[in-house]
Amino acid sequence: MSRSDVPPLYLLLIPLGFVIWSIAFVTLYAANAIGCAFGWDMGAQRMVLIALALGFLALSTLASFRIWRFWTGRARHQPAPAASLAQIGTYTALSALAASLGTFVPGLAVSLCI
């Protein structure tokens, strides 16, 4: 069996976008539930949720950009699986960014507490 010179941490490029998405999903809905349970002012609660959503969208965008830069830069000049892992990581990070937009933005327009 041959050993690859690609660091095992490159495998983390693949799920990184959806890890950020899942942390954001849990954080946003936990903040909403806490705000409803403690009777926060609706305006303040919505501002907290908007700030969290924008922060996580920025983090997801940054992760997508960094993975893409890695793919177009260093990964192409490394041993065989590095470029493929970076390419797959780029596409999954962009998919997670699209999922974040589709999940979080509409959720900010509906009523907060039922």
Domain residue ranges in the chain: 12-105
Statement: residue 19 has pLDDT above 80: yes
**CA 108 from centre of chain:** 17
Q: Could you tell me the two tokens for 77? A: 């000049």
Statement: residue 35 has pLDDT above 80: yes
Which of these, 83, 94, 87, 107, lies nearest to 18 by C-alpha position? 94
Find the distance separating the first CA and the last CA of the chain, reported in whole Å. Answer: 58
Contact (Cβ atoms closer than 8 angstroms) between residue 4 and residue 79? yes
- The pLDDT > 70 percentage for the chain reads 91
Q: 52-100: per-residue pLDDT in tens?
A: 999 999 999 999 998 888 877 777 777 667 777 788 888 999 999 999 9
Supply the pTM of this predicted model.
0.84
Collapsing DSSP states into helix, strand and coil, what is residue 26? helix
**For all residues of the chain together, what is the average pLDDT?**
86
CA atoms within 13 A on the CB side of 32: 20
Looking at per-residue confidence, does 42 or 85 come out higher? 42
Statement: residue 37 has pLDDT above 60: yes
| pLDDT for position 1 | 53
Contact (Cβ atoms closer than 8 angstroms) between residue 100 and residue 23? no
